[in-house]
Amino acid sequence: MERLQSGTGPNEREEIERLLAQIETALNLLESGDAAAPGEE
């Protein structure tokens, strides 16, 4: 988040926002129980 708030260029800002969206999606999947637990693959 610090990198996002510091003076980033437009390309770097887009990349950071994309990565944050991926992290948010992964956390939502874990929260809802959609992700397989370790050892259940």
Give me the tens of pLDDT residue by residue for the chain, a chain 41 residues long: 676 667 667 788 888 889 999 999 999 999 887 555 555 54
Cα distances (angstroms) measured from residue 31 to each of 8, 18, 25, 26, 36: 31, 20, 10, 9, 11
Residue 3 CA to chain centroid, in angstroms? 14
pTM: 0.56
What pLDDT was estimated at residue 4? 61
- In sequence order, the 6+-apart residues with CB closer than 8 A to the CB of 16 are 3, 4, 8
- In sequence order, the 6+-apart residues with CB closer than 8 A to the CB of 2 are none
What pLDDT was estimated at residue 15? 86
